[in-house]
């Protein structure tokens, strides 16, 4: 099943994001369950959150994946939503 992870950064957390970006990207690539991913951008074009589409067995697997994400471990996000998603195009 596809799960959309939408993580919104804490205010003023751009440096936390940058400091953990390499580990986060390595995690995305290594887990084998990421269908698509990329940063959300604010009006100035700066990274302010994440959108990750996971292809996992169930919501519990998505929750475990999210908890182990280096961004989550670093305390980057003010809010994380995991939402079941139905791919129609792509």
The SS3 of residue 11 is coil
For residue range 31-65, list pLDDT tens digits in order: 999 999 999 999 999 999 999 999 999 999 999 99
Q: What is the pTM of this model?
A: 0.94
- In the predicted structure, residue 12 carries a pLDDT above the cut 90: yes
Return the percentage of the chain with pLDDT > 70, whole number: 100
For residue range 79-89, list pLDDT tens digits in order: 999 999 999 99
Task: Classify domain 2-84 at the CATH topology level.
Answer: Alpha-Beta Plaits (3.30.70)
Query: Which backbone phi and psi does 24 adopt, to 5 degrees?
Result: -60, -50
- In the predicted structure, residue 90 carries a pLDDT above the cut 90: no
């Amino acid at each position: 099943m596809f799960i959309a992870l939408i993580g919104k950064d804490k205010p003023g957390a751009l440096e936390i994001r940058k400091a953990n970006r390499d580990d986060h990207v390595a995690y995305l690539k290594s887990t084998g369950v990421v269908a698509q991913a990329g940063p959300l951008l604010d009006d100035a074009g700066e990274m302010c959150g994440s959108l990750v589409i996971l292809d996992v067995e169930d919501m519990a697997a998505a929750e475990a994946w999210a908890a182990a994400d280096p961004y989550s471990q670093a305390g980057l996000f003010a809010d994380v939503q995991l939402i079941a998603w139905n791919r129609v195009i792509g």
